[in-house]
Chain A
Amino acid sequence: MSAIPPKITAIIVDDEELARTVVREHLDSHPEIEITAESANGFDAVKQISELKPDLLFLDIQMPKLNGFEVLELVEHTPAVIFVTAYDQYALKAFDVHAVDYLLKPFTRERFEEALKRALSRVGSTDSPVQDLVMEVRHQQQPLERILIKEGASVRVLPADTVDYVEAEDDYIAFHVSGKKHLKHQALSDLEQQLDPNRFVRIHRSYILNIDRISKLEPYSKDNRMAVLKDGTQLPVSRTGYDKLKGLL
């Protein structure tokens, strides 16, 4: 008796039932591929990808809650991805640039097989072109309007303007939103580049401040000052931070 080769697992992510049906139908003739889940929105997709760690992902771009790129940004596990979209001029260009596999709805069986074959050849490979694509898209979508934080298997969305300040904590950054703290694995300098520079200022090595929250600035020592926020929180302001603040206030 020969050993049954391990199946390739796949997740289909699309908010339209009919669109998922087409992919499912085409996969019927591939017994080596097992569909382990289907998700109809970005939140579910993040949860399922994190839990089931599929080898292959069929991913729509426009979906409720999170778009396809945001889903990929939030999951640590990156499977081989086939983007499935109807029409998205910008995305198509990016797909070609990064040699990512994609299907344009509606698509033929031949086109499906072709994309599937290429994606399968990537399964298990560590260098994925998708991460570069996600980085580029994130770069295009600046300034950041919503901050996405993965908390366990679920996703929290923080509108950027609700953030009071951000604090560096080792490998993490902490978003302070009306007294609550939300941790994300990211570098403060990386975040600084994404946020709207007219609203968020790096006032210190460890702090980015939403300038709407400032109540007053007080001298602290010879070179340093202290920012007092409207809720009474006190944050250190370095000399370069003070120069940046002066330019904006």
Chain B
Amino acid sequence: MHPILSEKRIFGLYLVVWLILGGLLALLLQSAAGVSPADAFVLAIPMALVYGFMCLASYYLCRAFPFQRYDVVRILIVHAISSALTSSLWVSIGRSWASLVSEISIFQNVEPRYSSEVPLLLTVGISTFLLSVAVNYSLIAFRDSREAERQAMQLQIHAQEAELRALRAQINPHFLFNSLNSISALTTADPSGARTMTLRLADFLRKSLSFGNKDFVAVRDEVDLATSFLEIEKVRFGPRLRVQVRIDEEAKNVLVPPLLLQPLVENAVGHGIAHLVEGGEISIAAARSGSRLRLSVENPCDPDGPRYRGHGIGIENVRSRLKTLFGPEARLETSNSPDRFRAEIELPAEDPLPATHVRQRMQV
């Protein structure tokens, strides 16, 4: 579709431009040929509007003969011929209009006057057509460069997503080796504990690997993965690690990008509980209010401990994923008092399978 016709606003603007050109044509007829103002306007305005439509064709001509593929001489010839033809067609349409108008007694002078102005009108037609050609070439060039820019940006976003996909599927090596060490310790001290730990680790690895390939998971599953992780860490930290989970019923089935909670929970253990002699409680919460979902992880931390700069890569990672996926619609905020750390994600609450909902409603 023609770019000017595809948008009402632009089409309106285009008509206004042609009305102005029509006014200018009327003034030209008055001053150059001594046509009376009324005659000039009744002739020029409709003719300008008609020519406005005819000049739309120059866009297709410009598309068909891009500068990159044809030499300048050929392009000039094409446009010279087409402007002459279009202009002649326009002048003859104008003549029919002039004779039609002359039927009305007050405009009876229009037709003879028109005939004497044909050369002027032909010139105006040719130059206006060539002008529209020039405008079209610049608009096309502008659009092409914008399109190239957009494609480059798209490419960048894809690359970012791929990178984040790889990152989020990564298992924290510190966690993995420490867990294996716990298993190694349990094999002699508590063989059935070693088996339980191995099974939990297998379960966690399976879940997180499967999450790496999904675009969305239910909040319930995301919390479930975080809980599996914490169950394993409980073996390592013993009574130092305590967990509280509070998930609202209406938040459970909401869909979220996978592995958003996991880095926050890892952070709570690594930068919080691991630095506390007596340990502490990690609270995980998910709540929905209307179309928004809030996920939060809170943990105690050591006020005298080393302050971690920027709260680690995990949190920055989640933040940049949210930005890529939701833009300004989602945010991750952290608050840091001397002895507590809290991370909260707020994002649009995506309902599961809207199609079935619609179907159910239709059946009712």
Residues from chain A with a CB closer than 8 A to the CB of B306 are 67, 145-146
Say whether, besides A40-B277, A65-B305, A22 and B185 are in contact (CB < 8 Å): yes
Contact of A86 among B174, B185, B189, B235 (CB under 8 A): B174
Distance (whole angstroms) from the CB of B152 to the closest CB of chain A:
35
- The bracket for how many chain B residues form the interface is 20 to 34
Instruction: Give CA–CA (A200, B248) in the complex, Å.
Output: 50
**Which residues of chain A have C-beta atoms less than 8 A from B183's C-beta?**
106
* Alpha-carbon distance A15/B273, docked complex (angstroms): 11
Nearest Cβ on chain A to B10's Cβ, whole angstroms: 55
Contact with B along A1-37 (1 / 0, CB 8 A): 0000000000000011111011001000000000000
Interchain CB contact under 8 A, B275 and A64: yes
Tell me the complex Cα distance, A16–B78, Å: 84
The listed residue (A40, A86, A88) touching B181 by CB distance below 8 A is A86
CA distance A145 to B309 in the complex (A): 11
Min C-beta distance of A115 to chain B, whole Å: 15
Name the B residues within 8 Å of A105 (CB-CB). Answer: 177-178, 180-181, 184
B236: A residues at CB distance < 8 A: 16, 18
Residues of A within 8 A of B189 (CB): 18, 21, 25
Provided the pairs A16-B182, A145-B306 are in contact, do residues A86 and B277 lie with their beta carbons within 8 angstroms? no
**Chain A residues whose C-beta falls within 8 Å of the C-beta of B304 in the assembled complex:** 65, 146, 157, 159
Interface positions, chain B 181-201, Cβ under 8 Å from A, are 181-186, 188-189
Chain A contacts with B in 38-77, Cβ cutoff 8 A? 40-41, 43, 62, 64-65, 67
Chain A residue numbers with a CB within 8 Å of B118 are none
Q: Report which of B176, B184, B237, B274 forms a contact with A22, defined as CB distance below 8 A.
A: B184
CB-based nearest A residue for B240:
A15
- CB-nearest residue of chain A to B197: A18
Separation of A49 and B124 alpha carbons in the complex (Å): 100
Q: Does B276 contact A (CB under 8 A)?
A: yes
Q: Provide the bound-state CA to CA distance between A64 and B280, in Å.
A: 12
Q: Which residues of B contact A86 (CB under 8 A)?
A: 173-174, 177-178, 181
The count of residues in chain A whose C-beta lies closer than 8 Å to any C-beta of chain B is: 25
Instruction: Please tell me if A153 contacts chain B, counting CB pairs below 8 Å.
Output: no
Complex Cα–Cα for A105 and B183 (A)? 11
Q: Does B150 contact A (CB under 8 A)?
A: no
A172 close to chain B: CB less than 8 A: no
Tell me which residues across on chain A come within 8 A of B274, comparing CB atoms: 15, 62, 64
Chain A residue with Cβ nearest B275: A64
Cβ-defined contact, A41 with B277, below 8 A: yes
Q: Is the Cβ of B307 less than 8 Å from the Cβ of A145?
A: yes
Contacts of B328 in A (CB 8 A): none
Q: Does A104 belong to the interface (CB within 8 Å)? A: yes
Contact mask A185-197 → B, CB, 8 Å, 1/0?
A: 0000000000000
A residues in contact with B178, CB < 8 Å: 16, 19, 86-87, 105
Q: A65-B275, A146-B306 are in contact. List 6 more A-B contacts (CB 8 A).
A: A64-B276, A65-B304, A87-B178, A105-B180, A105-B184, A145-B307
> Could you list 14 examples of A-B contacts with CB < 8 Å?
A15-B274, A18-B186, A41-B277, A43-B277, A64-B277, A64-B305, A86-B178, A87-B176, A88-B174, A105-B181, A105-B184, A106-B183, A146-B304, A159-B304
